[in-house]
Structure formats: C-alpha cells, structure tokens
C-alpha cells in the first residue's frame, strides 16, 4: 500500500478517515506495560472498500470487536483488516481493538518518536510518527478527529492528556483520568504525560492556562514562566483567539533535549526553567504552535515550514515585545548566520532527513518576514488571523497558504515567497 506521506513510509491509509477515537488505557508504571481498548469510528473514502490498514507498533492485538472480519493480520507496524462486507463512500463503521504490551518509540527516517519512559513517569512525543507506539490509528496528519482519552494508573501519579479534563475517579490504588479533545486533532499531536505532578492555574491571561509541575520545581517554574500571560496576550492580538478551551504546560523532572508541543499543551524539561533567552524563546515557540501546527496542521510533512517558520517568527515577535531585540534585529542575525551556509534542499521540500534542521526554522521565519516586509503590518497581521480562522481544525499545504494569502491580501505573495521556498540561494535580507 502506498504511504500517505512520502516522508513517512509505512504510515497512514488514504482510503478512509477516522472520525472519532475513544481510547481507554490502563498503564502499569512499574513495568511499563500498557493495556488498551481503542474504539474507532471510520468513514470510507472510496467505494467497495474491503481492506483497512491501521498503524500499531510493537503492541499485541488481543481482540477486534464491533465489525465482521474475514481476517486480520498484524505485520510489523501495520494492522490489516479484511471486512466481510465492502463499504461504500461515506459508509461509517465503529469497531474496537483491544491490545497490550510494552510500548516503545517508533523509528523513521525523520527520527524517533512515541511513548517514552522518564526516570519516574511517562512522556509521549508523537511528532512525526509516534502515535502508533500507544494506540492503533490512521497515522496521517491529514486525518484529524476528536478524541476521548481515559488513562488508569497508580494513584501516586498525575496524568495529562489532550483537551479538557472531564473526570478524575479513584478506585483502590488506581485512578482513572478522563480527557476530551473536541477540536479535530492529528494523531501525532495526541499525547499522555504521567508524573508526580501538581497542577495550578496561571491566572490573568485571555485563556485558561494551567501548569503541571513537580512540587519541588514550583518556584523555578514561576520565575521562568513569569511572562507566559504576556506571551498569550501578544499572540492572541497577532493571530486571533487562542484556538482551544485551555492551555497546559507540563514540566518534567527530567532534562529534555528540546521542548515538545501537543494539541492544547506543551512539555518542557526542568533544564529550561530559567530566564535565559534560549529558554524564553522556546516557551514562546511552543505556545505559537497551538495556532501554527495544531489549529492549522500541515497536510504533508514536506510543508513543515508552515509550522516551524511561523513558530520561529513568533519568537522574534516576542523578542521585540519583551525588549530583547526587534523583529528586524532577529531577522538580520539569523539571515547572517544562514548566509554563511550552502543550502542543499528547498524549503518547500527539504527531504525527510532535514525536516527538523535548524535552517528550515530560520529560513521559514525569514520567509514570513519577507511577506511582512512586502505587504506591510496591517495586511500581514490580518493575514495571520485570517489564515487561522479559515483553516482552523483542518490541514493545509504551502500552495494553499500562498493562494489564500494572495486572495486575502491582494498582494503577489507567490512572487514574494518563490525565491525563499523554491530556489536554493538565500535571497537578500527583507527589511521592514
């Protein structure tokens, strides 16, 4: 079966959409054992559909119920179902997959991602292909759906998942945590975080914001995230309303190489709890992904600049807002750094090995800066808010962004971005 995304071979099925996920998980933290029941509602995208392929890595399928099957086969990371009766376009079927095992990360050309053990807890970092490490899914970014996630584990631990928490129920030595993510979400953005955390509300901002932090790190957190409310206020002015009911910040006791974003929350290591610019810019970066990456999600991994370029540019907007240096200063600094490097890939098609390379982030941000410099602030910030409003809850490509920007602003945005996206040489520094 052809892959849904050439950058992620062996993931995704384009013949159907999952329209809802209901996940019931039971996790034993002492031996990293996961038991799950995933109920999927699917909608056929073609006539005479008999075969469904799900993605599931390293975990054993115990039973499939709710649909009549001729057979099923679990080879490697792919669970293939053969239906007894074919589906027509738009037919819907709901079925449940029971599974269990020891979850582990998924390794792809782009990197490794998925369910990981911490020193005393769990971190799930799904980007780009880690979702199958903990639940059966149609693992393509273009198949967004609402989720209900229930996680049962030892009561000594705090559990966070995407969306709004709808219940916490203790029974014996275990507690079940329930979350609902009603806004459509790509599988790689689904997450579970487990640790010895305490939650508190970060007050004063335009949206409900919570911090989930080890108690011993509370003072350091308050200092490091003192500007979280101001960041949220800036980004809502620049991009439009925050796209989800709430935002959670999870800080692990462990050090993490990089922070991580998931839909409606971000995850930081304890090593980022300080006031250095490199820590502050990453706090801004992960927050900006709630608009650029989570509300509006790429349709293909090659369009990663639509996430990282805009999130990186958001760092520069925050830099000016907090007095660290103007947006133009940041653009000049990073343009100079890139000017000494020889690009080998196009920004609009960087190749799987370069998807998360720093030059994608910085050249992507410079592309955004070039648009702003060419069309002016009024049109530029209206464009950002209009883009989120138009594509919120869905997916988009580079071509769709360019076409939307040209129609929305009346400016030749395609001509502005062409040398940045589709040519190798670094264009001249854009100036506001």
DSSP category for residue 127: T
- Asked whether the bond before 294 is cis by omega within 30 degrees of 0, the reply is no
Q: What value does the CA radius of gyration of the chain take, rounded to a whole number of Å?
A: 22
Contacts 24+ apart (CB under 8 A), 331-335: 331/365, 331/366, 331/369, 331/429, 331/430, 332/429, 334/362, 334/365, 334/366, 335/366, 335/426, 335/429
Residues 168 and 43: their CA atoms lie apart, in Å, by 32
Report which of 150, 193, 149, 153 is spatially closest to residue 173, judged by C-alpha positions.
153
Annotated catalytic residue, options 116, 183, 261, 286: 286
Q: Check: CB of residue 275 under 8 Å from CB of residue 241.
A: no
C-alpha separations of 409 from 2, 186, 327, 388 in Å: 38, 29, 22, 14
DSSP category for residue 388: H
Report which of 39, 97, 91, 88 is spatially closest to residue 63, judged by C-alpha positions.
97
Is 308 within any annotated ligand binding site?
yes
Q: Which residues contact 216 (CB under 8 A, 6 or more apart)?
A: none
Tokens, residue 375: 């069309």
CB burial string 370-406: b at 16+ within 10 A, e below:
bbbbbbeeebbbebbbbbbeebbeebbbbebbbebbe
Is 11 within any annotated ligand binding site?
no
Is 289 within any annotated ligand binding site?
yes
3 state DSSP class of 32? coil
Annotated catalytic residue, options 21, 157, 197, 361: 361
Is 361 labeled as catalytic in the residue annotation?
yes
C-alpha separations of 352 from 117, 302, 315, 419 in Å: 26, 8, 25, 21
Residues contributing to the annotated binding site for Zn(2+): 285, 289, 308
Catalytic residue positions? 286, 361
Residues contributing to the annotated binding site: 285, 289, 308
């Amino acid at each position: 079966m052809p892959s849904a995304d050439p950058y992620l071979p062996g993931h995704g099925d384009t013949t159907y959409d999952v329209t809802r996920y209901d996940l019931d998980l039971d996790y034993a933290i002492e031996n990293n054992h996961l038991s799950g029941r995933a109920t999927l509602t699917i909608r056929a995208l073609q006539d005479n559909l008999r075969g469904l392929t799900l993605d599931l890595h390293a975990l054993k399928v115990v039973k499939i119920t709710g649909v009549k099957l001729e057979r099923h086969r679990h080879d490697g990371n792919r669970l293939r179902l053969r239906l007894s009766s074919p589906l027509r376009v738009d037919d819907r079927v709901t079925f449940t997959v029971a599974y269990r095992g020891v979850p582990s990360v998924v390794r792809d050309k782009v990197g490794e991602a998925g369910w990981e053990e911490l020193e005393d807890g769990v971190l799930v970092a799904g980007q780009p292909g880690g979702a199958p490490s903990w639940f059966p899914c149609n693992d393509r970014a273009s198949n967004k759906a609402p989720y209900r996630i229930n996680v049962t584990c030892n009561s000594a631990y705090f559990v966070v998942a995407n969306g709004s928490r709808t219940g916490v129920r203790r029974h014996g030595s275990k507690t079940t945590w329930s979350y609902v993510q009603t806004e459509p979400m790509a599988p790689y953005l689904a997450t579970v975080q487990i640790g010895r955390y305490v939650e508190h509300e970060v007050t004063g901002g335009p949206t409900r914001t919570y911090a989930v932090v080890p108690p011993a790190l509370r003072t350091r957190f308050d200092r490091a995230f003192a500007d979280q409310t101001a960041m949220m206020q800036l980004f809502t002015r620049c991009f439009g309303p925050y796209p989800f009911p709430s935002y959670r910040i999870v800080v692990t006791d462990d050090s993490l190489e990089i922070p991580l974003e998931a839909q409606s929350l971000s995850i930081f290591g304890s090593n980022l709890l300080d006031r250095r610019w490199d820590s502050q810019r990453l706090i801004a970066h992960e927050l900006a992904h709630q608009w650029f990456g989570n509300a509006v999600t790429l349709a293909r991994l090659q369009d990663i600049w639509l996430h990282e370029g805009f999130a990186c540019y958001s760092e520069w907007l925050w830099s000016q807002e907090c007095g660290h240096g103007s947006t133009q200063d940041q653009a000049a600094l990073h343009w100079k750094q890139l000017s000494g490097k020889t690009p080998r890939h196009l920004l609009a098609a960087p190749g799987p090995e370069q998807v998360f390379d720093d030059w994608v982030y910085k050249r992507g941000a410079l592309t955004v800066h070039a648009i702003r410099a060419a069309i002016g602030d009024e049109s530029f910030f209206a464009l950002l808010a209009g883009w989120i409003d138009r594509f919120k809850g869905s997916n988009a490509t580079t071509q769709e962004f360019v076409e939307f920007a040209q129609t929305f602003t009346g400016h030749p945005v395609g001509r502005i971005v062409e040398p940045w996206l589709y040519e190798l040489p670094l264009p001249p520094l854009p100036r506001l």
